Amino acid sequence: MSVREKMLEILEGIDIRFKEPLHSYSYTKVGGEADYLVFPRNRFELARVVKFANQENISWMVLGNASNIIVRDGGIRGFVILCDKLNNVSVDGYTIEAEAGANLIETTRIALRHSLTGFEFACGIPGSVGGAVFMNAGAYGGEIAHILQSCKVLTKDGEIETLSAKDLNFGYRHSAIQASGAVVLSAKFALAPGSHQVIKQEMDRLTHLRELKQPLEYPSCGSVFKRPVGYFAGQLISEAGLKGYRIGGVEVSEKHAGFMINVADGTAKDYEDLIESVIEKVKEHSGITLEREVRILGESK
């Protein structure tokens, strides 16, 4: 029996797409094919895929909204598990529990509907709950670490565990999940009662700031670089004269130099070359070495 036949038999009922191009799923609109792109509808299907992949020695990885990744042009071997169908969100008192694939922005709107405060900072971050926990996503002084109470994970060996915020060892755009290889299945956020009007005003204010400062009309992966201690990456890039600097179809945004936008059918190679070149030029200009925030996955062509 071929691996494909075995897969279809053992993973029967699970939505699997073969040789599926990833560019249409990714915020940067670049990237090659996944050998097997899987859409589990619940954690049991997800666990079945991981078990099968481990048994068959096939590599696997999970994605949320693909808003903080660049998939290389040669694509990703093995399974890519997209979590967007695991998207249940429930509210219990001042706590919100959301599955990994729940849209982060939608989750902040649910908090607003229940007049719960604490989640406003994330109202414009286009990730999933799982990706946000993995990255410790943050903005405007807030971050996931400030509100996360606990999360359920599937370890890379297929065990389900509940981790406290302390276990996650959060830091700036860092969580312990990044090294453990576990899959975030769901997360519980501890919020506080607030005024619907005040929460809404704050979310409107932050949305307005984003629209004003970020090139949201173009494909991008948000801020490409982490904030170097004591500096802003965008400012360093701008001071090095790199606004509008372009390689292939990807350019440093004129509006926000921390963003690289795909303006003309750019490729992952264009992104990688531009990132390397910007790091080099900023180092020459300011002596500071920028560190990537965006994660680059898969194989070159």
Q: In one letter, which amino acid is 272?
A: E
Cβ closest to ligand FAD, residue 108 vs residue 220 = 220
Cβ closest to ligand FAD, residue 282 vs residue 294 = 294
Binders in 221-240 for ligand FAD, by CB under 6 A:
221-222
Binder of ligand FAD out of 111, 137, 148, 260 (CB under 6 A): 137
With CB under 6 A as the rule, give the number of residues binding ligand FAD: 33
Identify whether the C-beta of residue 87 lies closer than 8 Å to the C-beta of residue 110: no
Should residue 186 be labelled a site residue for ligand FAD when binding is judged by CB under 6 A?
Answer: no
Q: How far is the CB of 186 from ligand FAD (least distance, A)?
A: 9
Should residue 105 be labelled a site residue for ligand FAD when binding is judged by CB under 6 A?
Answer: no
Should residue 85 be labelled a site residue for ligand FAD when binding is judged by CB under 6 A?
Answer: no
What are the φ and ψ backbone dihedral angles of 67, each rounded to 5 degrees? -100, 0
CB proximity list for 280: less than 8 A, separation 6 or greater = none
> Which residues are catalytically annotated?
173, 223, 293
Identify whether the C-beta of residue 64 lies closer than 8 Å to the C-beta of residue 128: yes
Should residue 75 be labelled a site residue for ligand FAD when binding is judged by CB under 6 A?
Answer: no
Identify whether the C-beta of residue 23 lies closer than 8 Å to the C-beta of residue 301: no
Supply the DSSP symbol for 168.
G
- Which has the closest alpha carbon to 69: 22, 1, 10, 15? 22
Q: What is the largest CA-CA distance in the chain?
A: 61
Should residue 128 be labelled a site residue for ligand FAD when binding is judged by CB under 6 A?
Answer: yes
Distance CA 59, CA 79 (A): 6
Cβ closest to ligand FAD, residue 91 vs residue 139 = 139
Should residue 61 be labelled a site residue for ligand FAD when binding is judged by CB under 6 A?
Answer: yes
Tokens of 58: 């096939």
- Summarize as ranges the residues that interact with ligand FAD (CB under 6 A): 27, 61-69, 83, 100, 125-128, 130-132, 134-135, 137-139, 177, 183-184, 214, 216, 220-222, 295
